């Protein structure tokens, strides 16, 4: 089943949803209605109780070229600030990916530039095609990173390397992104979606409750120290212990069979 939300598509097949940025004529730049469309498509995927993993990708040759520079120029020329016009929808777009209850895999099929790079960083896991490119190009246009870039990039690479990439606007190819830990795998373009689907299916076979709770715990790893992390783990583990899925998982182990998880 494929649903169209303007410039975004949501395809659901069993436990896997694919959300596609579908503005290939402008390399999926974040202009027009695409931000609202991404929010709707992500809500459809995340709100489907059968879906256990979401793949985020781009149509055509690019993942996302970033902000629509023509639109940004028009706003600047008319003296419109970000907060007056775009902050709420910009932030909601990023949070639709970052705060999804289900794990999100970014299948980065081509360039992910500026805000497009940060949209990929908001995903939980990133798999890159050999055609992928990454750049914090904002300073080259007289702007600074938005869409969470100053939060997400240091969390992945550390503050020094993140600031270097922001200051220089350097473009990373897929292999360099892999070396830095920005992506977890690099594959040939023809294998990208198969690899993303394979990972999504592996995730979907496991218990969704601890996967959801672990996502939040990992996102909060920098908040406080080890003692705070241990407390969060205990609270989450107690939720898991009380679930039917935990009993099923333990029973299946003892009975030497594969478990069947219901998300309950």
- CATH number for 211: 1.10.12
**Whole-number pLDDT of residue 86:** 54
Contact (CB, 8 A) for 107 and 55: yes
Which single residue is written with the structure tokens 């902000």?
Answer: 67
Mean pLDDT (whole number) for 205-234? 88
**Whole-number pLDDT of residue 210:** 94
Same domain, 82 and 189: yes
**Whole-number pLDDT of residue 81:** 58
Residue 29 has pLDDT above 90, yes or no: yes
Residue 32 has pLDDT above 90, yes or no: no
Same domain, 199 and 227: no
Same domain, 220 and 165: no
Same domain, 36 and 86: yes
Same domain, 119 and 147: yes
User: Can you list the positions of beta strands (E) in 98-222?
Assistant: 104-108, 111-113, 125-129, 133-135, 171-173, 185-187
In a domain, 260, yes or no: no
In a domain, 246, yes or no: yes
Q: Domain limits at 199?
A: 2-204
**145-202: pLDDT as tens digits:** 889 999 999 999 999 999 999 999 999 999 999 999 999 999 999 999 999 999 999 9
Same domain, 250 and 195: no
**106-160: pLDDT as tens digits:** 999 999 999 999 999 999 999 999 999 999 988 887 878 889 999 999 999 999 9
**36-84: pLDDT as tens digits:** 999 999 999 999 999 999 999 999 999 999 876 566 545 555 455 555 5
In a domain, 261, yes or no: no
Both tokens of 74, joined, read 């028009």
Same domain, 218 and 191: no
**231-251: pLDDT as tens digits:** 887 888 888 878 888 888 888
**Whole-number pLDDT of residue 252:** 86
Same domain, 100 and 55: yes
Same domain, 18 and 148: yes
Residue 213 has pLDDT above 70, yes or no: yes
Q: 92 pLDDT band (50/70/90 cuts)?
A: very high
**Whole-number pLDDT of residue 253:** 86
**Whole-number pLDDT of residue 1:** 87
Same domain, 178 and 225: no
Residue that finishes a domain, picked among 204, 219, 235: 204
In a domain, 262, yes or no: no
> SS in 3 state form for 26-41?
HCCCECCCHHHHHHHH
Same domain, 180 and 248: no
pTM of the predicted model, to two decimals?
0.90
In a domain, 259, yes or no: no
Total domains, the chain: 2
- The CATH number of whichever domain residue 34 belongs to comes to 3.90.226.10
Same domain, 62 and 136: yes
Which single residue is written with the structure tokens 């938005």?
Answer: 146
Q: Cα dihedral sign for 135, 141, 143, 146? A: negative
């Amino acid at each position: 089943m494929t649903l169209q939300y303007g410039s975004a598509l949501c395809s659901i097949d069993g436990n896997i949803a694919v959300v596609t940025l579908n503005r290939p004529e402008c390399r999926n730049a974040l202009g027009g209605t695409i931000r609202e469309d991404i929010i709707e498509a992500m809500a459809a995927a995340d709100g489907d109780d059968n879906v256990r993993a979401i793949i985020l990708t781009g149509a055509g040759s690019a993942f996302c070229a970033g902000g629509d520079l023509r639109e940004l120029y028009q706003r600047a020329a008319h003296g419109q600030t970000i907060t007056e016009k775009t902050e709420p929808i910009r932030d909601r777009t990023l949070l639709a990916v970052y705060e999804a209850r289900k794990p999100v895999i970014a299948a980065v099929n081509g360039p992910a530039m500026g805000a497009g790079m940060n949209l990929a960083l908001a995903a939980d896991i990133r798999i890159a095609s050999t055609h992928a490119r990454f750049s914090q190009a904002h300073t080259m246009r007289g702007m600074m990173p938005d869409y969470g870039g100053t939060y997400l990039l240091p969390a992945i690479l550390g503050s020094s390397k993140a600031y270097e990439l922001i200051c220089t606007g350097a473009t990373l190819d897929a292999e360099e992104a892999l070396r830095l830990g920005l992506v977890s795998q690099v594959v040939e373009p023809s294998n990208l979606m198969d690899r993303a689907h394979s990972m999504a299916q592996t995730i979907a076979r496991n218990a969704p409750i601890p996967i959801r709770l672990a996502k939040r715990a990992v996102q909060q790893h920098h908040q406080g120290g080890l003692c705070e992390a241990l407390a969060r783990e205990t609270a989450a583990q107690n939720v898991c212990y009380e679930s039917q899925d935990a009993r099923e998982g333990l029973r299946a182990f003892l009975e030497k069979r594969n478990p069947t998880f219901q998300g309950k």
